[in-house]
């Protein structure tokens, strides 16, 4: 059983969304990694801008994850979880990255926003999913 | 069309078994839009049973990354579990890799002929390789074989 530090739980509403979507051992792993990411990114003092932080986390995640097809593993990656922990601050950078080309931001977007603009027919069609999320981002003012 | 590289150091570092036996060939550019699970089924979508309903997964199958769920997903497109990886002219075969420590599915490959298989390696290249060429810490090894009649 994972014990959640109260302060961290309060600081991140995304913790609940990231963990309740999973069950059993997978949920424990997601919770454990999410707590590690939050502890790391809330305790570290840094002079990084949000953009610099996003780029660092994004670069590290893409490097770590290049041979994996397992979308579940995104939530085992501390850098990807770090971006989710940035919450809405990360959204403009995620959409900017998506506009440069498709990538697997969909899980992070779904957790941070609580939305899912991907139609059933478009699931798994990465280009269509990218278009759906960019349209959603425009409608909600996160990108132009 | 860009010329494909003969070799890739990152692939070789992560999957050292590729260098044993018959080696491997890179058969596509890097591509983030489809994954091994879809590629094994000759479908260029990103298949995964994520619980947030982003990726493709058959509606009839539980969205959990268990071997049973993957078997059900492939059964829906005509595959049935078979005993081994032996090449059979009239069948298409796939191999599902399962991590022994966790029971999680990590990868899938599709048989090409009597000695080679094709795999999409995450968001990296497609490669052709020997069955055991991708045995590794990341993918573990093939644990389930399925086959369907060639169309």
Least confident of A23-27, A32-36, A80-84, B124-128: A23-27
Asked if the structure places residue B3 within a domain, the reply is no
Q: Give per-residue pLDDT as tens, A59-100.
A: 999 999 999 988 878 888 889 999 998 999 999 999 999 999
Domain hosting B47: range is 9-149
Cβ contact (<8 Å) for B123 and A22?
A: no
Supply angle C-alpha A134, A123, A86, rounded to 5.
Answer: 50
The candidate with the shortest Cα–Cα distance to A72, out of B144, B99, B9, is: B99
Q: Which residues of A touch B45 (CB under 8 A)?
A: 123-126
Sequence-ordered list of residues with C-beta below 8 angstroms from that of B35, at least 6 positions apart, any chain: A69, B46, B47, B48, B120, B122, B123
Average pLDDT, integer, range A40-69: 85
> Which percentage of chain A shows pLDDT scores above 70?
71
Q: Choose the closest CB to B52 out of A102, A110, A125.
A: A110
**Cα dist from B4 to A67, A93, A102, B25, B26, whole Å:** 18, 31, 21, 9, 7
Q: Which residues of B touch A114 (CB under 8 A)?
A: none
Q: Which of A19, A26, A70 to mutate to test the interface with B (most CBs of B within 10 A)?
A: A70
Asked if the structure places residue A1 within a domain, the reply is no
pLDDT at B97: 97
Region for B93 from its dihedrals, namely left if φ exceeds 0, alpha if ψ lies in -120 to 50, beta otherwise: beta
Look up the ipTM and state it. Answer: 0.92
Cβ contact (<8 Å) for B33 and A67?
A: no
Question: Which residues between 73 and 102 in chain A have a beta carbon less than 8 angstroms from any beta carbon of chain B?
Answer: 101-102
Asked if the structure places residue B15 within a domain, the reply is yes
Query: Which runs of E-coded beta strand occur in A4-139?
Result: none
The H-or-E segment that residue B23 falls in is none
B57 reaches A (C-beta below 8 A): yes
User: Residue B53 maps to which CATH number?
Assistant: 3.90.1720
Least confident of A29-33, B80-84, B123-127: A29-33
- Report residue B54 as tokens: 């982003």
Using H for helix, E for strand and C for coil, what is the string for B84-119? Answer: CCCCCCCEEEEEEEECCCCCCEEEEEEECCCCCEEE
A27 reaches B (C-beta below 8 A): no
Cβ contact (<8 Å) for A103 and B32?
A: yes
Q: Which residues of B touch A111 (CB under 8 A)?
A: 52
B93 pLDDT above the threshold of 70: yes
B65 reaches A (C-beta below 8 A): yes
**How near does any CA of chain A get to the CA of B43, in Å?**
10
Residue B142: beta bridge partners?
Answer: B97
B21 pLDDT above the threshold of 60: yes
Domain hosting A109: range is 34-139
Asked if the structure places residue A56 within a domain, the reply is yes
The H-or-E segment that residue B2 falls in is none
Asked if the structure places residue B2 within a domain, the reply is no
pLDDT at B100: 84
In chain B, the number of structural domains is 1
Residue of A nearest to B125 (CA): A67
Asked if the structure places residue A8 within a domain, the reply is no
- Give the C-alpha separation, A34 to A119, whole Å: 28
Asked if the structure places residue A113 within a domain, the reply is yes
In chain A, the number of structural domains is 1
pLDDT at A48: 86
Q: Choose the closest CB to A124 out of B38, B64, B107.
A: B38
pLDDT at A27: 66
Average pLDDT, integer, range B18-41: 95
pLDDT at A40: 65
pLDDT at A45: 55
HSE-up of residue A50 (Cα within 13 Å, Cβ side): 12
B53 reaches A (C-beta below 8 A): yes
Asked if the structure places residue B1 within a domain, the reply is no
């Amino acid at each position: 059983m994972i014990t959640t530090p109260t302060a961290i739980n309060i600081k991140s509403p995304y913790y609940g969304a990231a963990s309740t979507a999973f069950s059993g051992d997978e949920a424990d792993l997601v919770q454990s990694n999410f707590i590690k990411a939050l502890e790391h990114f809330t305790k570290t003092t840094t002079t990084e801008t949000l953009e610099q932080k996003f780029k660092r986390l994004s670069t590290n995640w893409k490097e770590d994850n290049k041979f994996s097809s397992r979308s579940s593993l995104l939530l085992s990656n501390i850098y990807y979880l770090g971006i989710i922990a940035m919450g809405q601050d990360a959204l403009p950078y995620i959409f900017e990255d998506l506009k440069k080309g498709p990538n697997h931001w969909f899980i992070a977007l779904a957790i941070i926003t609580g939305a899912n603009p991907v139609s059933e027919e478009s699931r798994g069609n990465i280009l269509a999913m990218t278009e759906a999320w960019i349209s959603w981002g425009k409608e909600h003012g996160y990108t132009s | 069309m860009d010329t494909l590289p003969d070799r890739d150091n990152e692939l070789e570092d992560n999957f050292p078994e590729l260098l044993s036996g018959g080696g491997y060939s890179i058969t596509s550019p890097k591509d983030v839009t489809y994954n091994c699970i879809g590629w094994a089924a000759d479908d260029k979508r990103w298949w995964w049973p994520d619980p947030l309903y982003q990726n493709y997964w058959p509606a009839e199958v539980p969205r959990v990354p268990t071997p049973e769920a993957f078997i059900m997903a492939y059964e829906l497109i005509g595959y049935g579990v078979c005993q081994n990886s032996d090449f059979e002219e009239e069948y298409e075969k796939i191999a599902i890799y399962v991590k022994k420590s966790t029971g999680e599915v990590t990868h899938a490959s599709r048989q090409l002929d009597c000695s080679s298989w094709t795999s999409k390696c995450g968001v990296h290249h497609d490669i052709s390789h020997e069955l055991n060429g991708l045995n590794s810490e990341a993918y573990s090894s093939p644990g389930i074989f399925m086959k369907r009649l060639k169309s």
